[in-house]
Structure 1
């Protein structure tokens, strides 16, 4: 049993989360060592004059974060070695928390009504092949032909035979990485990049190298230098606003990256999940290097979160590899979702919902601009989030924790850190994951925290 005890004078509402943060801080600071046994729920509740239910919820939160383990009949123990990295977002929405941590599109009852009607239509029109066939080539030829039209709206011209339907962008990027980056190879990406790349590199056995970025994304000279210093096999890019820092890469920069990739014979994986949502953007990198770029897009971030379907467009040299790896990892995309996506692309519903999304985001960016009027931050008017650097001596972990104590969840910037270079603390804030009223309230909390004394923030945790 450890001698450290939480301070009851520092408990804030919600109490369970405040208690969890105190214990988490003690673990991170070394005041609670790995293997230390925590007091029983009843003992902790009595010591702090809290309910047993509150303590139980605090312990459950710590278990969710991987900081403690509960063993039936023995108690709760600190475990400082985590098996998996934390996601930047809350795995589940807690009732009293305004969740600005998870990146999702704006959704209203209209979206649920649309998918219900689509499912009703599907009940009357489902092709036999979508319900009964195991063979992708039997199910998807019609869907690939419609996908060609959607990819044109994304700025890409490609043959149906080069398109694979996937269960969203995550499946698409995983298959693309499996196809071009064998175990032991190295993939270059932005220094601040996709949060799943680090665990994916571990699972798939490739090395990951984060390269310098500026206000347009990856610096071509940094990619060229990395290729001259070590054998880079592929480069993973998010050039169109979906990247954490919300940057939009210019056409000239895309062409320069393509030239470096061609010079060193690199494969390019382009993650473009916002697709046509971003107006007046340059053509995809795939348009500048079609012979080597695997292009990933999907509908979940711009049409409907539950429409988990996407397209992976691959050049001829990788078509067979993509097909094989997709078969062994997914077999094929879910046909019922493909039917809805194809119907919505063909009848214009998908683009209508994209245009609706763009207008909804404009209103939300206006709220962010109002509340962050005196704060430097990065955003794009068609993007789903803002990137907020933290000034002065602010602790990123402390800032995120303090926001949680005040009922607002935001994503720590370090979750997107790929490079080991010096880090400037920041947070990512989603604009689409709540109602406009909740967004205004949540951003108001963040704005007030930015005006506070960083020293006070640390003491309040």
Structure 2
């Protein structure tokens, strides 16, 4: 049934959408809003409360994520029907949990980092968290252990079944707190000497440089083309820097350019690595679905290292990832984790084991990938007339700017129009010459309509350059 309900909002609560969230919870707890009641449309309630539609939409999104409300396409937003009597108290979510949950027609859109579509993982994770809290298989009164984390490693092994990594068992897998932690573990295991050198792609994930800085290693960028690292450039760098110990690369999904390294190029890189005794560190955090080519651990089992995480396929909130090294280095890699943090917290290991083996997780991942594709389609339809690099299952696009635009000037101009994008400089060494390009992440935390509006504002900027270009 429809409702003409309009809440009494405590305007002392900040930000405003939290005040709306609290008012709706109170309405449900008091019985003023019953299960199945339809809430007023976003624009109508915003007008009554003298708030923007985006503020109300954000409140609806927060409560939908919690399961308090249910959004039905074409019908509206309803109070979720619950079995039995609903609890009288609805717990307030912490600000850091809901800070990035947005929705509705937002003018300001951040495209800095990917915000994944919800393919059902939010509800599943909440359910599994409750199950683990109620009956944690690993208990809550002892330190993590390698043996205790075995079910989680077996689940991760299942998760990686479409990845071509060569012979692999659960014992080869080291669980990490996300991909960044996995990079740290691998660097700590490999690097030796007072001032080691690592080689990276000239445009690369900034986390490589940050870990290198923390470990007092020097970073040397290597020239690349559309297929990835140039083998001749890598060989020249290795000759110039004899203290070089590894090459870091992202062959399946290159961030930030959306590139892919074909098998022939990977084999050439392996030849150079063997010639100069370089370890090969493969970052595979952005891939969703089956790998297109063998990984470096399969191509060069004596020197191939692998990193993955759930951040770009399920959620970044759990900070769950893994590091895998050559078989001969497995013990050292495990010790790097155990000496650093003993291992994942036992409830997190229990959650990982349940989540990665859950019968719904593959369908959820496919829905998430399809959702990414819808946002990518919007970006391509808006900006495809320019030099745009994209893939339908990758949560970002790469735009080479037209002649005259500098990346920094474009970013400033875009921000004045409510869109935040990353300049190419953020993916390069400090003194490097970089292309005039920007990376734009998919933000499914805003509605498809808001995302499209942001893309169209960027196209208008490109179509009608101002005096800012070239500054």
Task: With the length of structure 1 as denominator, give the TM-score of the two structures.
Answer: 0.74
Question: 1:26 corresponds to which residue?
Answer: none
Q: 8 Å contact 2:111–2:419 — kept in the other structure?
A: yes
Question: 1:175 corresponds to which residue?
Answer: 185
Question: 2:381 corresponds to which residue?
Answer: 370
- Greater helix proportion: 1
Cα distance change of structure 1 residues 320 and 139 upon mapping to structure 2, 3 Å threshold: same
Shift of 1:273: 1.0
Question: 1:148 corresponds to which residue?
Answer: 157
- 2 CA distance for matches of 1:119 and 1:199? 32
Q: How does 1:40-439 map to 2 (within 5 A)?
A: 97-107=108-118, 110-127=120-137, 129-156=138-165, 157-182=167-192, 183-231=194-242, 232-275=244-287, 277-279=288-290, 281-418=292-429, 420-434=431-445, 435-439=447-451
Question: 1:81 corresponds to which residue?
Answer: none
Supply the RMSD in Å over aligned alpha carbons.
2.2
- 1 CA distance for matches of 2:145 and 2:153? 11
Shift of 1:279: 4.5
Cα distance change of structure 1 residues 308 and 456 upon mapping to structure 2, 3 Å threshold: closer
Question: 2:91 corresponds to which residue?
Answer: none
Question: 1:88 corresponds to which residue?
Answer: none
SS in structure 1 opposite 2:314? Answer: coil
Name structure 1 gaps, 5 residues minimum: 1-91
Name structure 2 gaps, 5 residues minimum: 1-98
Question: 1:40 corresponds to which residue?
Answer: none
Q: 8 Å contact 1:100–1:411 — kept in the other structure?
A: yes
- 1 CA distance for matches of 2:295 and 2:115? 22
- 1 CA distance for matches of 2:161 and 2:170? 12
Shift of 1:242: 4.3
SS in structure 2 opposite 1:269? Answer: strand
- In the TM superposition, what whole-angstrom CA distance separates every residue of 1:393-429 from its partner, at most 9, and x where no partner exists? 2122221111111111111111001384532211110
Shift of 1:206: 0.6
Shift of 1:294: 1.6
- 2 CA distance for matches of 1:257 and 1:126? 45
Cα distance change of structure 1 residues 458 and 307 upon mapping to structure 2, 3 Å threshold: same
Q: 8 Å contact 1:234–1:267 — kept in the other structure?
A: yes
Structure 1 window deviating more from structure 2 (279-288 vs 423-432): it is: 279-288
SS in structure 1 opposite 2:147? Answer: helix
1:449 aligns with 2:458: no
Shift of 1:280: 5.9
Q: 8 Å contact 2:252–2:291 — kept in the other structure?
A: no
- 2 CA distance for matches of 1:419 and 1:317? 36
- 2 CA distance for matches of 1:154 and 1:327? 26
Shift of 1:147: 2.2
Shift of 1:326: 1.6
- 1 CA distance for matches of 2:254 and 2:142? 35
- 2 CA distance for matches of 1:139 and 1:316? 21
- 2 CA distance for matches of 1:331 and 1:428? 36
Q: 8 Å contact 1:402–1:457 — kept in the other structure?
A: no
Task: With the length of structure 2 as denominator, give the TM-score of the two structures.
Answer: 0.73
- 2 CA distance for matches of 1:356 and 1:324? 37
Cα distance change of structure 1 residues 404 and 130 upon mapping to structure 2, 3 Å threshold: farther
- 1 CA distance for matches of 2:164 and 2:295? 6
